[in-house]
């Protein structure tokens, strides 16, 4: 009898769980989605770390290839009702990261922890929102900072190239996500977003990437001795065209851990950081055109570079290379759907071209210049969309640098998806 009751209880529980799962599956308040990319490249230039300090020596180096999964992302959202909702996003970059513990028999039987692979797992969004009306929504938590074209639309079907556009992804955090409080809304053909977030960290700025790593934190918490302010405004008054401006401001010095700068000479150094961006998107008549222009400036760049080089310990998690006082990028891409010329084919096949320029290190007058950071890049290829949620991409690209640096041609192919499953 006991066995019968136990069996009945288990079967009842399974049936109840199944019914509950079906009810949840039909609950339209739950949303599940994501995006991902798989890419392969063959680079016809040297991958030696000294290729810019001695370009002639490495001019004839062999090509090298790479397979990569740049991003795999899962969205989970829920509408609680009464204007309350939540959204979360977890991202695996380059298939995540991993470590292992093993007993090393060649070293007296010691246990060692080793990194199995590179990559990153990040919680890019985790916020609660209260919607009062279309033009007033309050968001609190961890969210994307929509400064620049790429951060605002970083999913792989929002650009033609196999990898994310290089200019913005080189000099700005990408995808830029941070914790804070924000307001957003839509008023007619206009939309806006304003955020108060943790400020950038000047010690993470560097020559090759400007402020890109300033939003990162090597700690279990995000240092917020200083706060930053981000804003974005979009206009869609013209049919098929979106025009947008966005920007950021905040002090970046004394925003690291521990906040114990003992040298009083630098107590008044603020490292004020300014970023301004314009971007646009046109979609119509089988044609897509996108473009952007971004400029960033860091006050006290010379002093910050000196402090990073001379006053931080060698094992501190900071970037030792100098930071320039400014950085810039601009670019545009255009694609035409040649299959759109007939109504008999539902697939889309875009032939596209892209040009962009970026310089991650524009020095102050008393800073050394590094001209290899000055880059022009062209790309051309195809995007085939068999269905609206999937794109197969292929491209040829080449970088051009100043002076005697070698050009950097490459061929890349990839496949990407983007959409909601529920």
Name the more confident of 113 and 213.
213
* pTM exceeds 0.95, yes or no: no
CA distance 357 to 293: 10
Q: Residue 309: inside a domain, yes or no? A: yes
Domain carrying residue 343: 28-95+117-420
To the nearest 10°, report the CA torsion of 61, 63, 65, 71.
80
Residue predicted with more confidence, 243 or 121: 243
Q: What is the CATH number of the domain that holds 415?
A: 2.40.160.10
pLDDT tens for 120-148 read 888 899 999 999 999 999 999 999 999 99
Over range 216-231, report the average pLDDT: 90
pLDDT at 282: 98
> Around Cβ 65, how many Cβ atoms within 10 Å?
10
Does a structural domain hold residue 9? no
6 pLDDT higher than 60: no
Asked if pLDDT for residue 407 goes beyond 80, the answer is yes
Asked if residue 19 is part of any domain, the answer here is no
Whether 173 maps to a domain, the answer reads yes
Q: Encode pLDDT of 179-196 as tens digits.
A: 999 999 999 999 999 999
- Beta-carbon contacts of 182 under 8 Å, excluding residues fewer than 6 positions away, are 138, 139, 140, 143, 193, 194, 195, 196
Split at pLDDT 50, 70, 90, the class of 337 is very high
Closest to 150 in 3D by CA, of 124, 170, 125: 170
pLDDT at 59 over 50: yes
* 3 within some domain: no
Q: How many domains, in total, are found in the chain?
A: 1
208's tokens: 């090759």
- Residue 202 domain flag: yes
Computed from CA positions of residues 369, 371, 372, 375, in that sequence, does the dihedral angle turn out positive or negative?
A: positive
| pLDDT 10s digits, 275-327 | 999 999 999 989 999 999 999 999 999 999 988 887 766 667 777 889 999 99
246 lies in a domain?
A: yes
Flag whether 284 is in a domain: yes
């Amino acid at each position: 009898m006991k066995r019968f009751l136990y069996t009945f209880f288990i079967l009842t529980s399974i049936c109840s769980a199944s019914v509950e799962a079906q009810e949840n599956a039909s609950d339209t308040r739950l949303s599940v989605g994501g995006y991902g990319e798989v890419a392969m490249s063959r680079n016809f230039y040297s991958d030696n770390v000294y290729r810019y300090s001695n370009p002639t020596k490495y001019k004839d180096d062999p090509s090298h290839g790479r397979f990569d999964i740049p991003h795999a992302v899962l969205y989970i959202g829920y509408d609680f009702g009464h204007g309350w909702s939540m959204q979360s996003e977890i991202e695996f970059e380059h298939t995540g990261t991993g470590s292992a513990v093993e007993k090393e028999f060649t070293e007296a039987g010691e246990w060692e922890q080793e990194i199995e692979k590179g990559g990153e797992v990040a919680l890019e969004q985790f916020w609660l929102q209260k919607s009062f009306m279309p033009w007033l929504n309050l968001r609190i938590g961890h969210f994307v900072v929509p400064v620049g074209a790429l951060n605002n639309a970083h999913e792989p079907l929002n650009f033609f190239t196999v990898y994310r556009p290089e200019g913005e992804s080189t000099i700005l955090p990408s995808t830029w996500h941070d914790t804070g409080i924000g307001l957003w809304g839509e008023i007619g053909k206009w939309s806006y977003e304003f955020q108060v977030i943790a400020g950038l960290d000047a010690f993470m700025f560097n020559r090759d990437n400007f402020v890109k790593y300033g939003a990162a934190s090597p700690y279990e918490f995000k240092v917020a001795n200083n706060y930053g302010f981000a804003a974005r405004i979009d206009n869609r008054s013209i049919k098929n065209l979106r025009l947008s401006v966005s920007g950021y401001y905040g002090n970046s010095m004394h925003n690291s851990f521990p906040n114990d700068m003992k040298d009083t000479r630098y107590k008044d150094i603020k490292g004020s950081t300014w970023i301004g961006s314009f971007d646009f998107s046109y979609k119509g008549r089988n044609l897509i055109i996108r473009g952007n222009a971004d400029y960033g400036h860091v006050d006290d760049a010379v002093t910050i570079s000196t402090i990073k080089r001379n006053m931080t310990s060698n094992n501190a998690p900071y970037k030792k290379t100098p930071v320039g006082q400014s950085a810039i990028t601009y670019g545009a891409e255009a694609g035409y759907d040649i299959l759109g010329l007939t109504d008999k084919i539902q697939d889309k096949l875009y032939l596209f071209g892209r040009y962009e320029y970026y310089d991650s290190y524009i020095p102050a007058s008393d800073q050394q210049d590094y001209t290899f950071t000055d880059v022009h890049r062209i790309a051309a290829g195809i995007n085939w969309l068999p269905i609206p949620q999937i794109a197969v991409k292929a491209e040829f690209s080449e970088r051009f640098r100043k002076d005697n640096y070698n050009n950097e041609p490459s061929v890349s192919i990839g496949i990407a998806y983007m959409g909601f499953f529920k």
